[in-house]
Structures are given as structure tokens and as C-alpha cells.
Chain A
Amino acid sequence: MEILFAIAIGVLSGSGVWLLLRPRTFQVIVGLALLSYAVNLFIFGMGRLVTGRAPIVGAHPVDPASLADPVPQALVLTAIVIGFATTALLLVVLLAARGLTGTDHVDGRESP
């Protein structure tokens, strides 16, 4: 599972960085989205990869080893929400830039 997880993060961030460096705004935003997926997975992985354990403490005292770490799950939720909001804002800016400059190049003009 760890290998699969690591490869997934690697592929996502590799593609994300490549797209981020492209000159078209749409590629940049897709790259950012892929990178944020990679980062979210990474945060999630920082709570250690386990299966069959709930991140919720029950009513009775329980063995901590039988629980998943709830903190990274809370962090990843926050990160997803914030990333979602900022990406939505960036989409609006991207549309406005396209409308104002007439090109979808990130510099607002085509490279010669």
C-alpha cells in the first residue's frame, strides 16, 4: 500500500509541476489542482497508512493503538476547503485575464 501511495503522490506532483510550468493559464490551474491533490494525499499519509481503524474515540477507554490519527484527517479537510476556495478564485481571475488581455497566456501576451 505504501508503494502505491507514494507512486500516486509522485505521479500527481510530477504532472502538477510540469503543468504549472506551461504557458497557458488553464494548464497552470490544472497543475495546481493536481499538486494540491498530491499534497492532500501527503498530509493524509502523515497520519500513517492504516486500515480498519476509526479516528473516533468511543465511550469506553480504548487502546490508542486501535485508532487512526484524527489530526491529519482534520488537517486535510481544512486544506481541501481552503484549496477549493482559492482555486475557485483563481478560475475567476483566469477568466477575467482572458477577457481583459484577449489571450490565455500567463504573461497576458503571446511570446514572440
Chain B
Amino acid sequence: MSPWFRHLPAVPIVLPLLAAATLLLFAERARALRIAIACASITAQLAAAIMLLALTTEAFPDIWPQGVGAYAIGAWPAPFGIVLVIDRLTGLMLALAAVIGLAVFINSLAFWDRVGPHFHALLQLLLMGVNGAFLTGDLFNLFVFFEVLLAASYGLLLHGSNSQRVKMGLHYIVVNLVGSLLFLIGVSLIYGVAGTLNMADLPARAAALSGADRALFDAAAAVLGIAFLTKAGCWPLNFWLPGTYAAASPPVAAAFAILTKVGVYALLRLGSLIGSADALAHIEGSALLRPDLFRGGMFYIGIATMGFGIFGTLAAQQLARVVGYSVIVSSGLLLTIIGLDHTPLLAPALFYLVGSVLATSAFFMLTGMTGRAWRTPVPFPTASAVPLPVALGNYVPFGVRLAPVPQAEDAEVGVAIPAAMAFMGLMFAFCVLLVTGSPPLSGFVAKFAILSAAIQAAQGAPWATAAWILVGVTIAAGLASLIALTRIGMRLFWSATGRNTPRLRVLEAGPVALLVLLCIGLTVAAGPAMGFLEDTAASLRAPRIYIDTVLATGEGR
């Protein structure tokens, strides 16, 4: 193995950190320079993520022969030092995060990066936290990266602060701080009982526990699971989500589309590691329910989350809120499938995860554009348009004076694209098809694969009821979002009176088209993609390779 490749897993963490630190050195006025730095960082992250993803496949068997690579930070061997681990799932999530990061970065250039200070630095830190959470093989390190991404997300949510954002930001921060405290309790309890924080070392230690220690360990895993479920936006811990996502500026909401999936990823990863046979049962405390029937409470939590999402979708009147609820629905579907713990469902679920993150992210960016179309006159929500609080007087956020922000869209510079309304209508239609899972796009492929696997699972006796519930709720969720989005689409594009066609710039329209094109690509290449995801699911079911690779960093020293 070439020594250069060995350090590749550190790149997705170190690079955005350095980029964010460098970005802070330059004043807001040096915009071109800052954009160049951020652009270089995000492009390099995307390249690194794609390279890492390629290295975990069979294409390069001589580097990581079994598709898992471990990187010991500071060359401290595994159970004691912190390791970064890359396998297929990590590579996939890294690539997804980098694509979303790139799209959000380009989209923000049109307008939103100028409404507040340090947008690009915060986005880099968010990416650092997300990448770190995907890569780390250490529980406490996972907490640290969660905090990094949350701290960056607090800043991004308040970006271009208006009273709605500050109000929702308050709720979001408090909920997540409490979630972080639960996370800490879970992690420290696990350390106190099992004596390790290394995720690969944990399964063997946990299996050796018995009696009261085992009960404590299960309790710790359940507390940890609650923290992850809060991040994943599961019912009843998700009342903050739609309002927060709707209040955030559109590119920020688009970036947040991946945050709930970080929670889902953590559940998948720990569930795969902590005892593979009864893995997920321990995460959410299945003892309360009949484990033989539904394999744990997460199934019910997922169904309840989807139900909440369905009703929310139907009730919401604002496009951004409908999309927020569809994020909840997608989280719910993934949690349901994790709760079912049925291997053939896992690959379609991962396919659905990728497609839904891309689609909701594109949709959030689109809401920013449609929001301008029929509000007359069209003032941009700028920082200066917000009445300054009395108590804060000439309050300048963080002591940074901003570059002047264009007040109306006429003042915008840049290339406008022709047929803006047609473009928006087309993109809206594509996004609706993707989010609802209607044919012919990737949402349909994903839901079809899920339904077909679920119906096949229903043939086996103990699964039947659960699988049919999954089928019914999945179809109902698709129908509900189709109704809600059609209603809103008619209001936006058909019956709107007095709307004015906004000037769309290539910079803001391009990323939406890019993400939609990626989804179309995913539809066309559904076969190879599903093959890769089946390998991913298989490696999640057999965590032995992961564990051995990580612990092997401690050998031969």
C-alpha cells in the first residue's frame, strides 16, 4: 500500500478544519478569496470521498482487501487510541455529504452567503463534523464530532438572523443540548461498565458482561439510542424539526437534510456492532415489547414517526414545512426498517436514504426560489430588514461588518437563466416525483425495492404483520405527500395571480439541477448502485471484518 493512501481517511476531517480556520483569517470583503478557498476545500473533499468510496470496493483489492480500512490517529493502537474507520457505508455517506456540501456551497453564492458573517467557514465546520461522525471508530469521538456539527448548525441556522430564526434556533439549540447530555450519559455509562470506548472493542466486552452489568449496559445503549433518535428526528422527539428547517435559510435547510441521517447512520453503525445477532434490539430496549414479533421498539417508533410525518405533511400549508415533514417521513421509514432488522430490506433502505437526502436537499433549495415568485413586492429577507432589538442598539453580530447586501433582486448581478418559471416548474415536478416515490425516478425504485422486499418477508410467518404494516404506511406516506405537494404545486404554479417571475441565476438553479440529475443518474444506474448497497448491507450484517481490521492496528507493534 502506498503510504500516501494510508492518510486519506483523515482528509475529510482535517481539510474542512484547515479551510474553516483559513477562512476566518480573511475579512468578509475579500469575498473572491474566501470563495476560492471554500471551493477548493469542498472540491477536494468530494474527490477524497469518491476516492475512499472507490477504495472500499472490489476495484482496488490490494489496498483494503476486505473493503474496510482503519487509520490510527497519531499511530496509537486501536483499543487505546482513536481510530478512523472507513468501510462501504462510511464511504457512501462521505460522498453524499460532499455532494450536498458542494451543492449548498454553490447555491449560497447567489445570495445567501452575504446575509451574515462566516457562512463558508460554518459550512466547512458542519462538513467536518458530519464527516468526522461518519468516520470515527470511537464513541466519545463520535460525541465530539456531533458537537462540532451541531455547533456549526446552530451558527448556520441563525445565519441571516431574523426573529423567526432566532426563536426556532432557541428551541433547536435547547433540544440538541439536552440530546447531547443524554449522549454523554450513555457514553460514560458504557465506559463505566464495559471499560472501553472503541466501537470495535465494544462487542466483545459487551458480550462478556452478565447480570447487573449487562442490564446497565443495555440501559446505557438505550440512553444513547434516545440521543441518536433525537438527532434522527423520530417521533416524539421531533417537534422542533419542521419549524426549524422552514425557518432556516434555504441553502442551510438543504445542508440540514443530511443531519438527520447522521443519527440514522449512528444507529445503523452501533446496531451493526453491538452484538450482531440481537444487535438493534439492544439499542432501543426491546424487552418492553414482544421481541419475537417485531424485534423491538424501533419498529413502532419508526411507524409513529411516519404517521406524524403523514399528518404533518397533510396539515402543512408552507412548502418548506411540507419538505420538513417529508424529512421526518424518510427518517421514519429508515427507522422502521432498522427496527425490522431484516437483511434484504437494508440495501433498498440505503438506496432510499441516498435518494431522499439528495431530493429533499434539492427541494429545500427550490423553496428558496419559489418563495420569491409570488410575494409582491419581493424584498429579500436581509439582516438589515430585521428591526433591530432595542436592547441591542447598534448591535453588529460578532463584531463583523458585512459587505453590502443587494436589497432587491434587480440589484443582483450574474447570469440569469431563461424560462425561470418553466425551470422551476420542471424541478418542482421532479422533486415531487422523487420525494413521493412516484415513477419513474429513483424514489420509485427505492420504494419499489422496499415494498417488494417487505412483501417477500411477509411470506415468513413471524414477519407477516410487521411487513404488511410497513407496506401500508409506506404507501400512505407516498400518497399523503403527493396530495400535499400537488395542492401546493397548483397554488404555486397554476392558480397564482399577481406573481412575478423571478430572475434565477445559474448559481442558484444549477445545484438543484445537479442534485436532480444525480437522482436521475441513480435511477438509470439503479442496478450497479443496488449491487454496491447489497455489499454494504452484507458488511453491516457481518461486522467481524470491521472489528478485526480496527483491532489489527494494535498488532505488530
Contact = CB atoms under 8 A, between A and B. Distances in A.
A28 B174 contact: yes
Interface string A69-112: 00110010011001001110110011111111110001110000
Nearest to B154: A89
Given A25-B170, A32-B177, A106-B170, A101 B184 contact: no
The majority secondary structure among interface residues of chain A is helix
A109 to B, nearest CB: 9
A42 B163 CA distance: 37
B166 A42 contact: no
A99 B150 CA distance: 24
Interface in B475-491: none
Interface string A7-47: 00000000000001000010010001001100100110111
Contacts of B150: 86
B151 A101 contact: no
Category for how many chain B residues contact A:
35 or more
Q: A45, A47, A93, A101: which has the most chain B beta carbons within 10 Å? A: A93
Contact of B390 (A25, A32, A96, A99): A99
Contacts of A90: 170, 173-174, 177
Contacts, number: 106
B140 to A, nearest CB: 6
Contact of A89 (B151, B180, B192): B151
B167 interface: yes
Contacts of A36: 181
A25 B167 CA distance: 11
Contact of B170 (A42, A79, A93, A99): A93
Contact of A98 (B387, B388, B391): B391
Given A43-B184, A46-B188, A46-B189, A32 B178 contact: yes
Interface string A34-74: 01100100110111100000000000000000000001100
B185 interface: yes
Contacts of B386: 100
B493 interface: no
The majority secondary structure among interface residues of chain B is helix
B144 A82 contact: yes
Q: B155, B169, B170: which has the most chain A beta carbons within 10 Å? A: B170
B197 interface: yes
A100 B174 contact: no
Contacts of B187: 75
Contact of A46 (B173, B192, B387): B192
B389 A93 contact: no
A46 B391 CA distance: 44
Contact of A97 (B151, B170, B390): B170
A107 B167 contact: yes
B77 to A, nearest CB: 16
Interface residues of A, number: 37
A75 B183 CA distance: 13
Interface in B141-155: 144, 147, 150-151, 154-155
B144 A78 contact: yes
A40 B200 CA distance: 25
Contacts of B174: 20, 28, 32, 90, 106
B461 interface: no
Given A98-B391, A108-B167, A75 B173 contact: no
A93 B188 contact: no
Contacts of B391: 95, 98-99
Contacts of B151: 85-86, 89
Interface string B446-486: 00000000000000000000000000000000000000000
Nearest to A98: B391
B339 to A, nearest CB: 28
B191 interface: yes
Contacts of B161: 96, 100
B163 to A, nearest CB: 4
Contacts of A85: 151
A15 B349 CA distance: 42
Nearest to A44: B188
Contact of A99 (B173, B185, B189, B389): B389
Contacts of B197: 71
A86 B171 CA distance: 14
A75 B167 CA distance: 32
Contacts of A71: 191, 197
A39 B184 contact: yes
A46 B167 contact: no
Nearest to B192: A46
Contacts of A79: 184
Contacts of B140: 75, 78
Contact of B392 (A25, A96, A108): A96
Nearest to A25: B170
B127 interface: no
B158 interface: yes
Nearest to B386: A100
Given A99-B388, A100-B166, 5 more contacts: A35-B181, A72-B191, A75-B188, A95-B392, A97-B166
Interface of B: 140, 144, 147, 150-151, 154-155, 158, 161-163, 166-167, 169-171, 173-174, 177-178, 180-181, 184-185, 187-189, 191-192, 197, 386-392, 395
12 contacts: A28-B174, A39-B184, A46-B191, A46-B192, A72-B192, A78-B144, A86-B173, A93-B158, A97-B166, A97-B170, A99-B389, A108-B170
